[in-house]
A and B are shown apart, each in its own frame.
Chain A
Amino acid sequence: MIVQNFNHRMAAHCESGAIASLLNHGGLQLTEPLVFGIASGIFFGYFHKMKSFAFPTFIVRNKPGQMRTNIEKRTGVRFKTYDFKDPLQGQQTLDRMLMQNTPTAAQVDFFYMDYVPSWERVHINVHFLVVAGKEDNKYLISDAYFPKMVELDAASLEKGRFAGGAMSPKGFIFHLDKLPADIDYNKAIVKGIKKACFYMLKIPIPFLGIKGMRMFAKKVVEWPKFARDTEHLSHEIMKINILLEDQGTGGAGFRFMYATFLQQAATLIDKPELKSLSGELMKIGDGWREISLFSARIGKNRDLGPEKLKQLSDMIYDRADVEERFFKSLSQAIK
């Protein structure tokens, strides 16, 4: 059984990509950046000591799952969601959806996706993909990170869907239930931007938003004390590049995708001021890209002394300053 007329498309990010994919299949041609922007996807959070992570880390997007719920709240789209305790029931429900020709998104631990090269696989319980068919014991998967559809053993999909740990998927799946008769894009976009500005500027938690960036800048110089040795530190510093560029961000920690959203939104709701802000954010993203390249370079060269880490810290402080100004301007623009 293969879902008819389903078009696989690569996307920058798994969750916004999966949502856009389901919406497009259902007849609503919303781009990935519009999904991301309306859902207030842009974010920053720094975690210096957290039990779930073996090393300090940061995030550049909102909480997994929020893109779907925010899109529902702001556009009137409805998704039907399911989670399970029993893997067999989880598989039967998914199979039933496929029998009904319904492409269905699933939350999985990326580590068990056998089609991913082993060097790319990491334990992340919040990877989203679209299941678009099943033949024999293999599912046909539309994973936004891959150019073509891929096959996955039923056993591997089950392991991924029912992995334990932080943000365990619990077999979670969702599919499109209902599209609204019409969407008030002006309201949806303004609400999406307002919430993103709140998260970046005003959220009263010291490790989130702009405050989180400054905490990251302050604490990154302490990273050597968490590392086993120089190679471990090099690996973790180079992961800054991966987190900003490679883990489904569309480049520069989602800043390029959010700039694209602002440009598309400017046309869609006729707000030219968003267009000039999109250009500004693209340039801010270039600065994040410099951080990515710098991290990769010093990591590769094992040039990780206090001076280099201070330089890295200053670059992050600088991004915090420019982003604070940017989000204040954005907040003013949609008042």
Chain B
Amino acid sequence: MKEKDGFVDYPEQQMILYVEKDDGKYGPMQTGSFISANYMEDYIFKRRNLEIVLREQLYKNDISPVKYYMVLEELSLSELSSRAGIRKSRTKKHLDPKQFGCVTADELRRYADVFNVPVANLLQVVLVNDHDIFESNFILENKAEKISVQHASTDNPYIVLTKIEERK
């Protein structure tokens, strides 16, 4: 690949591409990500749709909160149980909304650690009104809109401090 053919102007995500320089030597070139530069909107679109579908299933009690995050984070059952340190058969139960009630507070905390969300978010959905459309924080964060929702951990592993504020 020639240097001029590889360059992508996308400062938000930089990377190193090995290219052929003008003198025929191969070497590194700092450039932007092609897929992020050209297809980010499509990624956000699909992610938003997936969140909407999963949230609806969650509201209807068709899936458990553990399943919700597992699908969003593209984890397999084996990987999730291994990361949480919970037996696979037990994690399988926790994916089923009818059996989710048997989950313990400790197990919830373990799942929350894997998903990197506060424990509270396994029992609630936080949506922010953005131009009369309620969106998840994930979508808003990536659109860099005006409102931010920040979760800060406390010394108590079961309590999270949720701060909602206008972006400065």
Taking Cβ atoms with an 8 Å cutoff, the residues of A that contact B are 10-12, 32-33, 51-55, 111-112, 117-120, 122-123, 144-147, 155, 159, 163-166, 168, 231-232, 234-235, 238, 241-242, 245-246, 248, 250-252, 256-257, 259-260, 263-264, 278, 282, 285-286, 289, 292-293, 296, 299-300
CB distance from B93 to the nearest CB of A (A): 18
Q: Is A231 a contact of B142 with CB atoms below 8 Å? A: no
Q: Is B76 a contact of A51 with CB atoms below 8 Å? A: yes
Q: Is B30 a contact of A10 with CB atoms below 8 Å? A: yes
Q: Is A12 a contact of B28 with CB atoms below 8 Å? A: yes
* A contact residues around B33 at 8 Å (CB): 245-246
> Does B84 count as interface, using CB distance less than 8 angstroms?
yes
Q: Is A251 a contact of B12 with CB atoms below 8 Å? A: no
Task: Give bound CA distance, A165 to B115, whole Å.
Answer: 13
Q: Is A256 a contact of B142 with CB atoms below 8 Å? A: no
- Contacts A163-B114, A257-B18 supplied; 12 other A-B pairs, CB < 8 Å: A12-B17, A52-B79, A54-B79, A119-B47, A166-B82, A235-B46, A238-B35, A238-B39, A246-B33, A250-B17, A260-B27, A300-B39
CB distance from A15 to the nearest CB of B (A): 14
CB distance from A289 to the nearest CB of B (A): 7
Task: Give bound CA distance, A263 to B13, whole Å.
Answer: 28
Give the most central of B16, B26, B50, B75: most A CB within 10 Å. Answer: B16
CB distance from A280 to the nearest CB of B (A): 12
Q: Is B16 a contact of A33 with CB atoms below 8 Å? A: no
Given contacts A32-B28, A147-B30, A238-B35, contact A118 B83 (CB under 8 A): no
Q: State which of B14, B75, B84 has its C-beta within 8 Å of the C-beta of A146.
A: B14
* A contact residues around B153 at 8 Å (CB): 155
Task: Bin chain B's interface residue count.
Answer: 35 or more
> Does B148 count as interface, using CB distance less than 8 angstroms?
no
* A contact residues around B30 at 8 Å (CB): 10, 147
> Does B113 count as interface, using CB distance less than 8 angstroms?
yes
Against A, the Cβ 8 Å flags (1 = close, 0 = not) of B32-44 are: 0111101110111
Q: Is A159 a contact of B116 with CB atoms below 8 Å? A: yes
Task: Give bound CA distance, A5 to B42, whole Å.
Answer: 42
CB distance from B117 to the nearest CB of A (A): 11
> Does B97 count as interface, using CB distance less than 8 angstroms?
no
CB distance from B57 to the nearest CB of A (A): 11
Q: State which of B15, B25, B46, B79 has its C-beta within 8 Å of the C-beta of A51.
A: B79
Q: State which of A52, A119, A264 has its C-beta within 8 Å of the C-beta of B44.
A: A119
Q: State which of B40, B74, B78, B138 has its C-beta within 8 Å of the C-beta of A122.
A: B74
Q: Is A118 a contact of B141 with CB atoms below 8 Å? A: yes
Question: Which residues, 105 to 127 on B, are CB-close (under 8 Å) to A?
Answer: 113-114, 116
Q: Is B84 a contact of A112 with CB atoms below 8 Å? A: no
Question: Which residues, 37 to 87 on B, are CB-close (under 8 Å) to A?
Answer: 38-40, 42-44, 46-47, 49-50, 73-79, 82-85
* A contact residues around B78 at 8 Å (CB): 51-52
* A contact residues around B47 at 8 Å (CB): 119
Q: Is B116 a contact of A246 with CB atoms below 8 Å? A: no
* A contact residues around B133 at 8 Å (CB): none
* A contact residues around B149 at 8 Å (CB): none
Q: State which of A251, A286, A296 has its C-beta within 8 Å of the C-beta of B39.
A: A296
Q: Is A52 a contact of B46 with CB atoms below 8 Å? A: no
Task: Give bound CA distance, A54 to B39, whole Å.
Answer: 23
